[in-house]
Amino acid sequence: MTTDARPALELTALAASQFHELKNQLGQLALALDEVATSHPDSAAALREPRINCRAIVERLVQILTLYKRDEGRLLLNVEAHDPAEFLTELVAETRTLCGPRLTIVVRHDTAPPFWFFDRYLVQIALFNALHNALKFALARIEISAEAHDGGLLLGVRDDSGGYPAHILADQGRQPGPSASGTGLGLFFAHSIAQAHENHGRRGELRLTNTDGACFQLWLP
């Protein structure tokens, strides 16, 4: 992973360990909410928002801690071969439990390679973040895809919203950016994780476009 000369985040070790604790406690709260939603189906609708929010916070904390680790030079990728179709199946199952009947989720992986090499955990966090944004802004439809592209794997999340605002398109996730919604941090995380994937001299990329809505793509060499 490239370590920039200047750290992306100003964070002390004490703050990091506090964040770590908070993240674990929230994680357990999220698991408890999942359990209630499943065992009491009548309360599932009311719990949807709190569950999404709770997870979004957990994920932001995970992103912050991961980026902190990167700044400290301690982030090591755990690259293994994974089945992109299976990877998407996990992601979609997870998303379906949150979105309810409001949205249609379309999955495409017919042109995906049978396996590809990446850090499943980190890429999953990057995509979860994109999915949570999509859940927030999509009108009726989210499309999740995996395909072979340019000698690599292209993972995509696309919604039918009005698309990304201009400043995000201009920046392409290159700055952590101050943003109340956490979008800026999430995109910076995705950009960093893509960059950390390297193969035969090529690095991964985050590609943000407005193609019939907001289109988030992660290309992994």
Stretch that binds other proteins, among 23-31, 129-137, 179-187, 202-210 (CB under 8 A): 23-31
- x/- string (CB under 8 A) for other proteins, residues 177-216? ----------------------x-----------------
**CA angle in degrees (0–180, nearest 5) for 183-189-96:** 65
Q: Count of CB atoms within 10 A of residue 22's CB?
A: 13
Q: Which is nearer to other proteins, 86 or 150 (CB)?
A: 86
Phi, psi of 207 (to 5 degrees): -125, 115
β-sheet bridge partners, residue 175: none
User: Which residues does 201 contact at the CB level (< 8 Å), separation at least 6?
Assistant: none
Task: Please tell me the count of residues contacting other proteins according to CB under 8 A.
Answer: 36
User: Which residues does 103 contact at the CB level (< 8 Å), separation at least 6?
Assistant: 135, 138, 140, 141, 142
Residue selected from 71, 94, 147, 171 as contacting other proteins according to rule CB under 8 A:
94
Q: Which is nearer to other proteins, 91 or 208 (CB)?
A: 91
Closest CA to 196 of 78, 20, 91: 78
Shortest approach of other proteins to residue 172 CB, angstroms?
26
Closest CA to 123 of 100, 144, 108: 144
Window 57 to 86, contacts with other proteins (CB under 8 A) = 58, 62, 65-66, 76, 78-81, 83, 85-86
Residue selected from 1, 9, 11, 20 as contacting other proteins according to rule CB under 8 A:
20
Report how far residue 94's alpha carbon sits from residue 190's, in angstroms, rounded to the nearest whole number: 19
Name the amino acid, one letter, at 70.
R
Q: Which is nearer to other proteins, 65 or 107 (CB)?
A: 65
Name the amino acid, one letter, at 43.
S
Residue selected from 3, 18, 38, 43 as contacting other proteins according to rule CB under 8 A:
38
**Residue 79 has which token pair?**
């690259």
Site for other proteins contains 24 (CB under 8 A): yes
List residues binding other proteins (CB under 8 A).
20, 23-24, 26-28, 30-32, 34-35, 38-39, 55, 58, 62, 65-66, 76, 78-81, 83, 85-86, 89-90, 93-94, 97, 114-115, 117, 121, 199
